[in-house]
Each structure stands twice: as structure tokens, then as C-alpha cells.
Structure 1
Amino acid sequence: MPPIPSQERPEQRRGQRLLFVSLLFGILFNFPLLAVFDHDGRVGGIPVLYLYVLLAWCALVLLTGWLVRTK
């Protein structure tokens, strides 16, 4: 079996990390976890569920951008 060129290894790791981020996205926006934040509470006048969705989405976008730009 020929050795894998060094250029393919970072791409493979990046793909695995992006797969992890997509699984994390699926877990964070799935019903059981969303139900935890779905109540009448407010933070600074913003419903807790809306704040959770916004912050989780921003964190996933930033994490994905960071993973794509780094080697």
C-alpha cells in the first residue's frame, strides 16, 4: 500500500472536523435540547430559546469558519 501524500492528511482531518461540527449542529438544534430552553424566561428582554438559537448558530458559524481557514 503506497504512503498517503502529506497534502491529503490535513484535508482528511479537516473533513473529519467538519463532520463533527455538522453532528454538533444536529445535536444542538434537536428537540430534547431545544425543549430545555423553551420556557417563559427572558434574558435582557429576549426569550431564552431565541437567545440560545442565535448564540449556538453564531458559535457554529465561527467554529466552521475557523476550521476551514486553519490547516
Structure 2
Amino acid sequence: MAASPFQAAYPETEAWEAGFARHYAEAVVPAFAPLAIERLRGRRAVRLRLLVAILAVPAILAGAAFVLVRGDAAFG
């Protein structure tokens, strides 16, 4: 597969992505494995899904607001 213009301009990005993927697979996934919703059953799973949904909405809105504010400041 031919390298994209971005990959040609920034060859270190591919190495960084590979390192990040390896770190994610070795460190992050096992750390959160006990919280996997798929392993839970019944009311506990419903409560955890509800908690994740409740926490996700403000996090998404805060992230969107941050991007809008920072983007506005960066581009004038």
C-alpha cells in the first residue's frame, strides 16, 4: 500500500500510533476489564449502563464546548 502524503510528511506518526495501540492493548484494556458491562447480568448491568449514559452526556457536551471555544480562539 502506498504511503499517503500525510504519512510521507510525518513518518513518526505511524510509529507513535503503533506504540499507542500496543500500550492500549497491554495497559488500558486489562485495567478496565473488570468493568466490562458484557460480563454483568441483571440489575447490576442496567445500573451500570444507566450510569455510563448519565456520565457520557455531560462529558460529550463539555468536550464539544471545549472544541468550539478552543477552535474559535485558534481560528479567530
TM class by shorter chain equals: 0.3 to 0.5
TM-score (normalised: structure 2):
0.37
- Identify the structure with the greater strand proportion: 1
Q: Which has the larger radius of gyration?
A: 2
Give the structure, 1 or 2, with the largest relative contact order (CA under 8 Å, sep 6 or more): 1
- Identify the structure with the greater helix proportion: 2
